[in-house]
Amino acid sequence: MYKIQSVHIRGFWKSKILKVSFRDDVNILHGKNGSGKTTFINILNAVLSVDLEALADLAFDSITITLVDGTKRKTIRVNSRQIPERSYIEYNYKVSQKHFKVY
């Protein structure tokens, strides 16, 4: 089973860069109220489940999720881009070497 090894978000809350590495056993997110714990989990969940409705409510420029299963490794990259003339956000998914666009 693949496990999340790391997450890198650019544009977290529009201007921040967030890098998180996960351990193999137990991981705990902690921080003050309003520090972004829930937002981080919501972005991670929305990206992994391709939940377009949730993604539209979450601000980020790009996210890279690295998954590992023993010696196997997969990378999920998602870039978001506002399309002003059409008033929607385009999400470009790259899962390992495969590309997908979702709107």
How many structural domains does the chain have? 1
Q: In this model, does residue 17 exceed pLDDT 90?
A: yes
More confident residue, 14 or 5: 5
Model confidence pLDDT, tens digit, residues 53-103: 999 899 899 999 999 999 999 999 999 998 888 778 899 999 988 999 888
Q: How confident is the model at residue 44 (pLDDT cuts 50, 70, 90)?
A: very high
User: Which residues 6+ apart lie within 8 Å of 20 measured at CB?
Assistant: 6, 7, 8, 40
pLDDT at 84: 81
Strands 88-95 and 98-102 come out as antiparallel
Residue with tokens 């860069």: 17
The CATH number linked to 19 is: 3.40.50.300
Phi, psi at residue 53, to the nearest 5°?
-65, -45
Give the range of the structural domain holding residue 43, as residue numbers without chain letter: 3-102
The percent of residues above 90 in pLDDT, for the chain, comes to: 81
Number of H helices, E strands in the chain: 2, 6
